Amino acid sequence: MAIEKSFSYGIFALIIANIIFITGCIQKYSNQSQKISISYHYTTEGSYYDVRIENSKIIFTHTDYAKIKEKCAQWVKQYPCWRQEDLVTEEAQLTNQEITDLKNLIEGTKIMQLENYYGPKKGERCYPHILKMGKKKIIYCSRPGSSSPPEAFIKVSRKIKEIVTKKFSK
């Protein structure tokens, strides 16, 4: 009886050890499969917009329009009306589904195959919109009369803005 009991405890211990091992492997694989690194940034005289996504964390830094509304209302100078202290930084967690959707969009649009620069000749006045995905950096420089950004750029930047709106709108 004592041998059977010891044998049962031994089997039970092995089952528990295997469950712990398998759970650890599944979690490790799940976390690895959700790695992502994206940033989207642009500034103008009256706005600052910066989104960074690292794995499941999203960090959004932007102008606090309530602070700068009066100061920037009649601004005509060709440099920002806002200062560093006018910026707000917020953080949130992305769901696995949001990460998966973003990865699928990046893959589906083939954005990684785009050129690195779109817009007027380098050096001409424009507002750069910078999209970085891992080591890939794409700049679309907007200005009145310029062509639209590539469709893939529009879709990915729009998706990032949708996530920001969902996570940070009050």
pLDDT at 5 over 80: no
pLDDT at 92 over 50: yes
Torsion of CA 83, 135, 103, 34, to 10 degrees: -90
Tell me the two tokens of residue 164.
């920001």
- pLDDT number for residue 146: 85
- pLDDT number for residue 159: 97
Rounded Cα distance between 130 and 132, Å, is 6
For the chain, the domains span 1-33, 35-168
**What pTM value is reported for the model?**
0.78
Task: Give the side-chain half-sphere CA count within 13 A for 56.
Answer: 10
Q: How confident is the model at residue 24 (pLDDT cuts 50, 70, 90)?
A: low
By the 10 Å C-beta count (0-12 exposed, 13-18 middle, 19+ buried), 52 is classed as middle
State pLDDT tens for residues 157-167.
Answer: 999 999 999 99
**Superfamily name with CATH number, domain 35-168:** Mago nashi (3.30.1560.10)
Instruction: Tell me the average pLDDT across 101-114.
Output: 97
- For the chain, the straight-line distance linking the first and the last C-alpha, in angstroms and rounded, comes to 66
